[in-house]
Structure 1
Amino acid sequence: MDQETIIVKIGTSSLTDESGRLNTARLQRHADSLVQLKQAGYRVVLVSSGAIAAGFHELGLKQRPRTLAGKQAAAAVGQGQLVQRYREAFAASGTSCAQVLLTRGDFDDRTRFLNALNTLNYLLERDCVPIVNENDSVAVDEIQWGDNDTLAALVAGLLQAKWLLLVTNTDGLYTANPTTQPDAEKIRHLHRIDETLLSRIDDSKSSLGSGGMRSKLLAAQKASQTGVQVYIGTTGEQIGWMKKTVQGDGSGTYIDAIPHRISRKEQWISSHSRPRGRVTVDAGAARALLEAGGSLLPCGIVSVHGPFDSGELVEVIGPDDRSLGRGLCRYSSPLLQQVKGLQTEEAARIAPHHPEEVIHRDDWVPVKQQPLNQNLEPQAGKGEGKHE
């Protein structure tokens, strides 16, 4: 039986003291908990924030920088310090670790996406703990609150993980902000996350970190849709909390995975890459894609919005201007402009060397419509069974 993979994302507030400096004792407890998961037979990947918080003091700043340049400079200083602390913490148990820096572009591009997968798997096969962080020193639009939550969800989907543990300074999801509303009740278990729930969540966040609870839920939603079980909660003081959590004994919030895991290719199409363009289709084409399991042909296309090349990802819009899904387009946007609305024989005369399908059904992922009836009532117990 293959080893199951667990992704653990640790936020800045769980790594630092009140002044924002790295707290060695806290970091050591996290490392010891991760080692305990490894000893229990799991493959473990750590997604760790804290580089900016670790670096801004060394730059002589009294608080976390607000400008992009300031954040990138602080990350450049702090990333090395953060990884060195982890190396020392893991060395206490004879465990090796490796720094893996990623950007959003590594998930947009199919080749880089697969290269990241191969690198992480290579490290895991050699009993090494990958420590993943965003490459903050070169990222531009990616340094924003919640980004490492999203990164953790992407890594969980990439590795087809069993669990994603989102470590935060609030022990789970509540019906309201517990710091301002004492009667707020904890939600112990969610079957799914939808827009109704997201719209009601307070997004208060630490002054040292960059993510709030809504960020955690968006990441949890993304991970659960790729077949990953999610837990949101605090660490506590016990080293064994991670192992207890995946056994169903966590005190935070558990979120179910969808019943059937989608393939990595479907994950990349649906959530990892960003569309390069859009095509609008008529009602007949929409039915063929969504109901008949068919491919998209030129005759069903109403308009094309680019530019994009052949083989790139596009979003498909229905006649009611709603997104139907995404797919890999076999035509460039200029050529598609020429053949849109044409029957297959006519399109073949204009593009004789192209396949008849604009988007083949094997390269298509529809939008999953979530029911908007999510209950915010707290659930009794710690979820259903052991969430295994």
Structure 2
Amino acid sequence: MTPEQKKKRVVIKIGSSSLTSRHGEISRKKLEKLTEEIVELKDAGHEVVLVSSGAVAAGYRKLGCIVRPTSLPEKQAAASIGQGLLMESYSELFLSHGYVASQILITRSDFSDENRYNNVRNTIHVLLERGIIPIVNENDTVTIDRLKFGDNDTLAAKVAGLIQSDQLIILSDINGLYDADPRKNRDAKLLENVYHITPEIEAGAGDSGSTIGTGGMRSKIDAAKIAMASGITTFLGKAGKPNIICDAVSGRAMGTYFQVTDPTINLNQKKQWIAFHSGPEGEIHTNEAGRDAILMKKESLQTNFVNKVVGNFPKGAVVRIIDEENEEIGLGVVNFSANDILDPERREEDRVVIDVQDMVCHLDISIPVGL
């Protein structure tokens, strides 16, 4: 790490299997290695946010389970034990190097609500300004539909976009992205640089390669897509390699770099929230003229372009925009409630239903095809 290097804001995601022993317990040796590398980044002036898995893996044996539990109550109970153990270890190790760590537990609903989304961002910004290391995880003990955010790979990508990170680093038990499954094909080649995520790459993504973790290659590709759409380069590599974090920041690590080459693929904070975090509350079906206005002319959606409204959404809700072929064009924040849009007395008025500034089309966030 050299003094002349640009200081970066880095989000690091570490997987469960990279933190625990083969018995499912927290590995002190792995934690020490991870914290020492993060400390080296901090000493060099970089800002670091850590998205850490491992709560369930760290806690299930102390819950009395011989193997990782499969029922939601047991997973949540294990997480309630393991999360405390993880934070205790992280805090102790970082304090020994003079750095304070903080804990941020969130749920998907914190991201889907725009006010809470902004509050999370503001909190992390304050912590980073004070030199503190935020450690983020999903609040596993209260998640009601499923334990994962999608998974922590996706969570890390969303956090990276939330705080306008310079780089996302995903550490796991694999070396990176290959052109074939290296466990089945000896000739599989590591893809050191990926500039576009192709349908072939997505189709070839497999399931979780570990019995400890929950995120497989598909989740890592999805995370890279989210980060790339936010203008953030992503690195995927193996946690156990020496100096992997510092080398990843310096661009020297062995692994896969998902590179951002198109500066126009960079959604602002508002559009990131619309695209990746909001929960659409209804649909607006537009005619062909409306579709052309949105996709070709980059214009707002007017009242006279609306064919149909589905749902009873309020003003300010996020809705799906659907064309006459029943294909989803994108998402947008409506200026009127569903009832106001359908009001026959106001139907002929020249009103902007969705402003172009509050709209995200799938073309805006798609990653071009071709390696």
Q: Provide the TM-score with structure 2 as the length reference.
A: 0.94
DSSP-derived class of the 1:364 partner: strand
1:360 alignment partner, one of 352, 355, 359:
355
Alpha-carbon contact 1:220-1:255 (below 8 Å) kept: yes
Which runs of 5 or more residues in structure 1 are unaligned? 346-355, 376-388
Partner of 2:77: 73
The one of 318, 326, 343 aligned to 1:321:
326
Whether 1:250 and 2:282 are equivalent positions in the alignment is: no
Partner SS, residue 357 of structure 2: helix
Query: Aligned partners of 1:99, 1:164: CA distance in 2, in Å?
Result: 19
Identity among equivalent pairs (%): 37
Alpha carbons 1:299, 1:341 under 8 Å: kept:
no
Deviations 1:47-85 (A, max 9, x none): 000000111011100111111111111111111111001
- Calculate the aligned-residue CA RMSD, in Å: 1.9
Question: Of the candidates 84, 90, 94, which is equivalent to residue 90 of structure 1?
Answer: 94
How far, CA to CA, are the matches of 1:173 and 1:316 in structure 2? 34
Aligned to 1:281: 286
Distance, in Å, in 2 between the alignment partners of 1:314 and 1:2 is: 40
CA distance in 2: counterparts of 1:155 and 1:142, whole angstroms: 19
> 2:303 is matched with which residue?
298
Letter in 2 for 1:365: V
Partner of 2:132: 128
How far apart, in 2, do the equivalents of 1:340 and 1:76 lie?
Answer: 55
| 256, 269, 276: which one aligns with 1:271 | 276
- Checking the alignment, whether the CA contact within 8 Å between 1:6 and 1:165 is kept in structure 2 is yes
- Structure 1 residues 153-192: aligned runs within 5 Å: 153-192=157-196
Tell me, yes or no, if the aligned pair for 2:107 and 2:149 is still in contact at 8 Å. Answer: no
CA drift of 1:247 comes to: 1.3
CA distance in 1, matches of 2:156, 2:327: 28
Q: Does 1:233 align with 2:237?
A: yes
Pairwise CA distance, 1:307: 2.5
Indicate how the Cα distance of structure 1 residues 8 and 109 shifts in structure 2: closer, same or farther if over 3 A, else same.
Answer: same
Question: Contact 2:316–2:335 (CA<8 Å) still a contact in 1?
Answer: yes
- Which residue of structure 2 aligns with residue 18 of structure 1? 22
Matched, 1:63 2:59: no
Alignment size in residue pairs: 364
The correspondence for 1:52, drawn from 18, 43, 56, is 56
State the shift of 1:141 in Å.
2.4
* Structure 2: gaps spanning 5 or more residues: none
What residue number does 1:374 align with?
Answer: 370
1:197 aligned residue (201, 223, 228): 201
Partner Cα distance (2:63, 2:369) in 1: 49
Counterpart-to-counterpart distance in 1, 2:68 and 2:298? 51
When residues 340 and 139 of structure 1 are mapped into structure 2, their CA distance, relative to the original with a 3 A threshold, is: farther
* Map of 1:383 onto structure 2: none
Instruction: Provide TM-score, normalisation by structure 1.
Output: 0.90
